[in-house]
Amino acid sequence: MPAADAVDQQARFPHEALTAMRRAGLLGAAIPRAFGGRGAPFSDIVAACYELGQGCANAAMVFAMHQIQIASLVRHATGSAWHRDFLARIAAEQLLIASVTTEAGSGGDVRRSECAVQTASGQISVAKAGCVISYADQADALLITARRAPESDAGDQVAVLARREQCMLDPVAQWDTLGMRGTCSRSYSLSVAADPAQVLPDSYATISAQTMLPVSHITWSAAWLGIASAACQRARRTVRRRAVPGGAAPAGSLRLTQALAQLQALRSQVGDATRRFEAADSDVDALHSIAFALRMNQLKLTVSTGVVQVIGEAMLASGLAGYRNDGDGSLGRHLRDAHSAALMIGNDRIMANCAALVSGYRGEEELFP
Amino acid sequence: MSDLTDVQTIEDEIFEILDGVVRLRAQPRPLEPSDDLYAAGLSSLATVDLMLAIEDRFGIEFTTEWLNRRTFSSVAMLRQAVVALKENAP
């Protein structure tokens, strides 16, 4: 993607990529045909994240994050007339959806909210402080979590789909990071006024476990894998240039082999998790099982740390050609973008969640469940 | 370990576990055996605690057949699981 370097240098939104996505109808691809979308299967969306990740990590992550919201609407909101209509609008106008699941008071735990849905004169409102929102300025709508009502527990949450015009956003901090600089994941204070019909019918507990968690981890992992794949392709070209026909394997060949071996293992993980999610479909028992939750969390943990290792090996294979910032062998942007994977959604928190569940894990007897 | 001849005792013990080990949110009225525990605030993490406490209290181990959302959806369902697992214990 030609603009990828500019997006990185300027820490700006990847406008060019989004324009191309809209032209290709990609933002509505996962919406069922009945609502004007392409009805694309989940594996197609995952493959798209992988391909986009090879060109520009930021474009891939924006696409992935948008698809998480689409999946949530398609799987949990088609019982509501308002959301059916809005899905049709998304497909027709190629609207971009962002999410607002974090909050200053909850410390990164998306399954707890401080803010609550207030009701007055038949309208609802939510005021949420210190939320991290990616591409808020470019989003056409936002999926916002909050406690169901002022008297509700922290974990008793709902999700509201609000149009951008219904939201007041006050930026609190800039997004100037080592990598993933184009997602514009700034902190905001948010207040929204909307219609009660805009609250999704299913509880956020349901949406999170059955859809947001698996879709997030699989699509992000595919995007990160795309970055690593592109890095290996560049390293391969660099190593290839050193090859002398009839001579010994060129310098860097061993490192490149290791990088590719690990890349292949990570690709298998993403493929397996994708098939597992598609097989679970709407089987509530399967989706809520400890085995499934652990599997989806483990995918994120493994791929997020794995891609940094793969690109590190690719860098060693490339030598200076990879270390310099100019030239087509440069791997700096790839490495910097890959480092976001373990941080932007913190691995330590995910590991703690897994640890709390693992006593209930009964294992899998079959090799091919 | 518990005497299984009285079905009422098993449900009482499960309610005890719910009060002690697993903290559901404050209920408007006392829970009935058929009430939906998830609607009452049972989280996935709390489900693990509940499972471990029941295994320890009744000396059973949940098999994969009984380890699902349906089993933990109410005290009555949990009582069924305890009885079945105790009968089939090696």
Q: Is the pLDDT of residue A364 over 80?
A: no
User: Which residue of A288, A297, A357 to mutate against B (max B Cβ within 10 Å)?
Assistant: A288
For chain A, the maximum distance between any two Cα atoms, rounded to a whole number of angstroms, is 82
Q: Are A71 and A90 in contact (CB under 8 A)?
A: no
CB contact under 8 A, B45 and A293: no
> Do the chains contact at A293 and B62, CB–CB below 8 Å?
no
Residues of chain B neighbouring A205 (CB-CB closer than 8 A): 38, 43
Q: Poorest-confidence range of A108-112, A249-253, A269-273, B3-7?
A: B3-7
Q: What is the DSSP letter of A177?
A: -
Q: Which of B44, B52, B70 sits opposite A293 (nearest CB)?
A: B44
Domains recognised in chain B with CATH numbers: 7-23+33-87 (1.10.1200.10)
Residue of B nearest to A356 (CA): B45
Number of A/B CB contacts below 8 angstroms equals 41
DSSP H helices, A189-288, are: 204-207, 213-241, 253-280, 284-288
Compute the average pLDDT of residues A135-162.
96
* 3 state DSSP class of A91: helix
Per CATH, is A98-198 categorized as 2.40.110.10?
Answer: yes
- Looking at domain A204-358, its CATH architecture is Up-down Bundle (1.20)
| CA–CA gap between residue A159 and residue A156 (Å, rounded) | 11
Q: What is the mean pLDDT of residues A324-334?
A: 97
Q: With beta carbons under 8 A apart, name residues in chain B contacting A284.
A: 69
Q: Binning pLDDT at 50, 70 and 90, where does residue B68 land?
A: confident
Which residues of chain B have a CB within 8 Å of the CB of A288? Answer: 44, 68-69
Which of A20-34, A130-144, B63-77 is least confident? B63-77
pLDDT at A100 over 70: yes
The candidate with the shortest Cα–Cα distance to A185, out of A250, A223, A128, A132, is A132
Return residues 6-65 of B near A (CB < 8 Å).
25, 38, 41, 43-45, 47-48, 51-52, 62-64
Q: Give the dihedral sign, CA A65/A71/A77/A81.
A: positive
pLDDT for position A203? 95
Nearest one of A88, A100, A108, A95 to A18, comparing CA atoms: A95
Domain positions in chain A are: 4-95, 98-198, 204-358
Question: Does the interface predicted TM-score (ipTM) exceed 0.90?
Answer: no
Which residue of chain A is at minimal alpha-carbon distance from B54? A360
- Residues of chain B contacting residue A362, judged by C-beta atoms under 8 Å apart: 62-64, 67
CA torsion sign for B24, B29, B30, B36 is negative
DSSP-derived secondary structure for A16-49: HHHHHHHHTTGGGTTS-GGGTS----HHHHHHHH
**A282 touching B (Cβ < 8 Å):** no
Min Cα distance B64 → chain A (Å) is: 7
Q: Do A156 and B41 touch (CB under 8 A)?
A: yes
pLDDT at B21 over 90: no
